[in-house]
Amino acid sequence: MEGEIQHKWVKTNGVKIHIAEQQGTGGPLVLLLHGFPEIWYSWRHQIPFLANHGYHVVAPDLRGYGDSDSPISPSSYTMLHIVADLLGLLDYFGEPTAFVVGIDWGAAAAWHLSLFRPDRVKGVVCLSVPYFPRDPNTKPTDSFRRSFGEDFYACQFQEPGRAETAFARYDYLTVMKKYLLVGRIDNLVAPEGMEMIDYLPTPSMLPPWITEEELQVYADKFQESGFTGPFNYYRAMDLNWELLAPWQGAKITVPAKFIIGKKDIGFETLGTREYIEGSIFRALVPDIKVVILDGHHFIQLEKPQEVSNEILSFLQDNSSDQ
């Protein structure tokens, strides 16, 4: 099925976005949005599965990643920029609406596309990262520092060049092993004075759901593109917070499903479980179904068939009256 995936570049919002595309038999457009540190290839299990069920599947490399353009300035990585890129993809394909599926930073993009332009979204499926309310009083980096200290990974990523220099001490395959396979939240808080990449353990064995060859695909692509683009998503967090003030308290009104692994980083320790099962999340996303699977953060890789089935059932449930 890999041979049926087509690759092209789309000019949108001032950048060129690389997409992997597989056409079904006339079904709705489905965008699959990856997270950090990933590329379109993270959806390699879901792309042919959904296309074989008739859907038009498009998995972009988000700006800053893979074969897409990577603007230098962190201010070019706000959710306004990312959502504008995605709207440009819908316009390119001539689709007034689409389903959108995202994980990690891709989930943030999917939530905000649904927030900003619900008229363009048939439904949203997000993995691993729920839609969080904006704290009106505290910037994200201040919140992270208060909770985890200066050496939390997202805080270390703030200083331009710092994480790039640290990552450069390792080959790209090792970097991917450290970050794609991180298992615990305490692994993401380095001891004082130590760089995050140095603190993260390198797994001695790979889990059964990913191979050395698959990790090498990521490594080769990041060796070409570097990590500045991905880091810039973190460096734009506080700017995002400022720009999103007009949407304070706004709801996601489109049909939604949220999928998370019960072994995900912080699921228990950060209170994510209580949040997604509580009233605030459901008030912000009224039409939400929550699914908890037996897996970790990159659940679409670890449990590909279960995730694919959950996505498909959502698409089918929300396609009949479209």
pLDDT value of position 322: 42
Query: DSSP E strands: which ranges in 68-196?
Result: 98-103, 121-127
The string of pLDDT tens digits covering residues 129-154 is 999 999 999 999 999 999 999 999 99
Evaluate whether 22 touches 6 at the Cβ level (below 8 Å): yes
Closest-CA residue to 4 (of 49, 65, 68, 60): 49
Give the span between the Cα atoms of 3 and 275, in whole angstroms: 41
- Whether 193 has a pLDDT exceeding 80, the answer reads yes
Which helix (H) or strand (E) segment holds residue 165: the answer is helix 162-167
The DSSP bridge pattern shows strands 6-12 and 15-22 to be: antiparallel
Q: Active-site positions?
A: 104, 234, 297
Domain ranges of the chain: 2-317
Give the span between the Cα atoms of 223 and 51, in whole angstroms: 30
What class does CATH assign to 2-317? alpha beta
Closest-CA residue to 32 (of 56, 4, 10, 7): 56
The string of pLDDT tens digits covering residues 229-251 is 999 999 999 999 999 999 999 99
The string of pLDDT tens digits covering residues 248-273 is 999 999 999 999 999 998 888 788 99
Evaluate whether 182 touches 203 at the Cβ level (below 8 Å): no
- Residue 182: left (phi > 0), alpha (psi -120 to 50), or beta? beta
Residue 143 sits at φ, ψ, to 5 deg, of: -65, -45
